[in-house]
Structure 1
Amino acid sequence: MTRLRVGPPQFTARRLTRTSTTLARTRTHVRQTLAAWQLAPVTDDALLVAGELAANALRHALTDHPGQQAWLGLLNRPGQLLITVTDPDPAPPRPGPAHDDADPADPGESGRGLLLVSHLADSWDWTPCPGRGKTVWALLSTWPRRGTA
């Protein structure tokens, strides 16, 4: 029998700035946070989702809005991990088609990144933040999958 730990939600946020180390530090933050929250089974998926959402904010929103910043948020609540990235660009995220001739080493530029998010997350969407841009979010289930407990 698997025991599920249910307690109050846990939250952390990290500022994203346009530097060469931001994505690496973001991945480290996500990995360490999920380890502290004992969410090892979703760490790989969460790293990919958080990395893609952060990369999109850095590549698109912060390029178009110099001097602004974005934020990564992680919320652990019973059965779900909510990953958010808030950025200053009000434009909605646009999943692009996956192109056969795209560079597989750069999924964000090829349009595959948000397709990956939609595959890994239970759901994802975006919410406008009037006067402040938008928040893109993804939900990952943290409940044990049948047969893995």
Structure 2
Amino acid sequence: MRGARLARLLAVQHLADHGIPHTSRGSRAVVVVLAEFAANAISHGRTSGRDFEVRVDLAPDTIRIEVTDTRPDRFPRTPADGGLPELPSLYATSGRGLLLVSATADRWDWSVRDNCTKTVWAEQSLHP
């Protein structure tokens, strides 16, 4: 999971370099979303010998986070697909990440880029 941690740190530093402080709403949203997307890419989207790719794009009023992995055959359920999975039991150690993404990001979804990769993305407004 060192790759996921490094991705978060680099993304937050990238935002800070463009005037978006670590403590801002946008930066905090990037941390939550990127943590989940990168962890999922490592846990569920990994193909031996290949890694995931992170992209953070800044528009005047929006941040877009993209994580591309190498498993286009495995994809998350989104609200557009009919909703997210039910809440896990209180004692479950996983299964809440995409619920956090839905609560944090303004919108998110995924797409298959080609026969070798898929991209999961989220967008967050910089202004409330």
- Pick the TM interval, shorter chain: 0.7 to 0.9
Specify the code of the residue in structure 1 equivalent to 2:16: A
When the two chains are superposed, the root-mean-square deviation of aligned CA atoms in Å is 1.3
Q: Which runs of 4+ in 1 moved over 4 A?
A: none
Equivalent of residue 76 in structure 1, options 58, 62, 81: 58
1:33 aligned partner: 14
Secondary structure (helix, strand or coil) at the match of 2:45 reads: helix
Q: Matched residues in 1 for 2:61 and 2:110: separation?
A: 21
1:31 Cα deviation from its structure 2 partner: 1.6
User: Matched residues in 2 for 1:116 and 1:29: separation?
Assistant: 21
Residue 33 of structure 2, aligned match among 35, 40, 49: 49
- The offset of 1:22, in angstroms, is 1.2
Distance (whole Å) between structure 1 residues aligned to residue 71 and residue 104 of structure 2: 24
Whichever residue aligns with residue 52 of structure 2, its letter is A
Q: In the alignment, does 2:109 pair up with 1:141?
A: no
Gaps of 5+ in 1: 1-19, 104-109
Structure 2 unpaired stretches of 5+? 78-83
Partner of 2:91: 101
* TM score, norm. by length of structure 2: 0.84
2:80 matched to which residue of 1?
Answer: none
Q: Offset at 1:85? A: 0.3
Higher strand fraction: Structure 1 or Structure 2?
A: 1
Count of residue pairs the alignment pairs up: 117
- Partner SS state of residue 46, structure 1: helix
Which residue is equivalent to 1:128?
Answer: 112
- State TM-score, norm by structure 1: 0.73
Indicate the SS of the match to 1:73. strand
What SS does structure 2 have at the residue aligned with 1:89? coil
Tell me the amino acid that sits aligned with residue 92 of structure 2.
Answer: A
